Structure 1
Amino acid sequence: MAVMETEQDLSALAEQSHARWIGARICAIGKSASTQGNLRDIASRRNRQRALRAAAPRLGSHEHGRNNMKPSRKQTSLLAAASLACAIVLGLATASNAAVAATTTKVPDGARPMTAAELYMLYHDKSWRWPDGAGRMQNTDRRFSAWVDGTGGQSWAEGRWAITDTGRLCLEATWHAASGQFPAKTCFVHRIFDGTIYQKRETGGAWIVFRHPTTEKTDEATNLIADDLVSQRLEALKTSLTVRKTE
């Protein structure tokens, strides 16, 4: 009995480590200093996974070895949740204006980083509308909350938003899906020149005109609205995903 319990623990740990490692590989965002730490964690988990997978056949039966030849339902669901978190990390919000994002935008040489005060005025107590969801930057405690409900799955998040005098807006939260929860941090950089605001996702993003001096319909900034698009839908998703986990 003790051997079987050890086998189950090893198998579960291997599945979770493998799924999270694949999700991180899909993201491919290992350029920042903070992500380098994550990559070291991933490498460590991968090494543990290899050791566990090597040990598992010695502990298990022939049936266990045959089951290891294909991913389990739990492993598949963990991979799906990791992929969902990856999509969020890669900047789901910037997809809300595909036409603008598709154009090549050159930031003028004289553009300067926006200050924290300017970013605060732009984002505080606003909802950012996305194609399949929305995020909200509350002034109180700088709370950030969001939900996503699309072809990639359902998820909700709670965390914090932060701004700096170097033009950075960062959304850091834990995203919850039916198969698990995953931390994600997405940062955007902003420049301003003659009243025009330029924005791009910090890692791997392309510059877009976020807002013209006189706001245009295609400006991404038009998706920042004062109405709360998050709270009610977030609570509904919390309930829905909780019920699904208990079924």
Structure 2
Amino acid sequence: MALVAMGMGFAMQGAAAVPGKDSVAAQSAAPLSTQEVYRLYANRSWIWKDGSGYFPAKERRFVASTGAGSKGSYAVGRWFIIDPGKLCFDAKWYAKGGASSALTCFSHREKDGVVFQKREPDGDWYVFKHARAKAGDEYRKLRPGNYVEAHFKRIEARLSGSK
């Protein structure tokens, strides 16, 4: 369904997957602990090319919004951590064409201070955060606070007004 693709395509934007050396390095890396994954995401927004997702610690609620105008969508659900090193969010995505549920998960591993990430189940490992974070690291797109709310409310209002 196009809605699911729209809702799930967001998180990998900007993450340049390089299958070769990153995949090899990640295979010998150790999965992050539950606490390490929690510290990466709790009370932070993951900023995407056309939206963001917010991971508040309270009740582990997950909210997100992407796109604009008639192509806007928003999500409401929960985020959770599965050992070893896996972050998941299970959300219902709402768009002009209807609603659809999606479960999205990312695995995390670390070696020598470098954190690798891959989208499950079929993504390629890539460097999520270098030992000394670099400007292009996906990790830099995780920012403290809620960057979702205003955009989320605009899209939610627009979609409920179109029914």
User: Does TM, normalized by the shorter one, top 0.5?
Assistant: yes
Contact 2:19 2:124 in 1 (8 A): no
Corresponding residue for residue 85 of structure 1: 4
Corresponding residue for residue 197 of structure 1: 115
- Could you list the structure 1 runs, at least 4 aligned residues long, displaced by more than 3 angstroms after superposition: none
1:75-102 residue CA offsets vs partner (Å, 9 max, x unmatched): xxxxxxxx0312333x4211123xx325
Counterparts of 1:112 and 1:129 in 2: how far apart (Å)? 26
Counterparts of 2:69 and 2:162 in 1: how far apart (Å)? 18
1:163-182 pair list within 5 angstroms: 163-182=81-100
Mean Cα deviation higher: 137-146 or 177-186: 177-186
Give identity over the alignment, percent.
Answer: 36
The match for 1:211 among 129, 132, 136 is 129
Corresponding residue for residue 106 of structure 1: 23
Counterparts of 1:191 and 1:201 in 2: how far apart (Å)? 12
Structure number with higher relative contact order (C-alpha < 8 Å, ≥ 6 residues apart): 2
Counterparts of 2:7 and 2:89 in 1: how far apart (Å)? 10
Contact 2:68 2:155 in 1 (8 A): no
Counterparts of 1:151 and 1:133 in 2: how far apart (Å)? 13
Counterparts of 2:98 and 2:73 in 1: how far apart (Å)? 10
Corresponding residue for residue 157 of structure 2: 239
Corresponding residue for residue 147 of structure 1: 65
Q: Which runs of 5+ in 2 are unaligned?
A: none
Contact 1:84 1:152 in 2 (8 A): no
Per residue, is there more helix in 1 or in 2? 1
1:109-137 residue CA offsets vs partner (Å, 9 max, x unmatched): 53111111000001000000011110000
Letter in 2 for 1:110: S
- TM-score, normalised on structure 2? 0.91
Per residue, is there more strand in 1 or in 2? 2
1:128 aligns with 2:46: yes
- After TM superposition, give the deviation of residue 151 of structure 1 in Å: 9.0
Contact 2:73 2:93 in 1 (8 A): yes
- TM-score, normalised on structure 1? 0.61
SS of the equivalent of 1:190 reads: strand
Larger Rg: 1
Counterparts of 2:69 and 2:154 in 1: how far apart (Å)? 18
Contact 2:92 2:100 in 1 (8 A): yes
Contact 2:118 2:124 in 1 (8 A): yes
Contact 1:84 1:153 in 2 (8 A): no
1:116 aligns with 2:38: no
SS of the equivalent of 1:185 reads: strand
Contact 2:3 2:100 in 1 (8 A): no
- After TM superposition, give the deviation of residue 158 of structure 1 in Å: 0.6
The match for 1:184 among 99, 102, 123 is 102
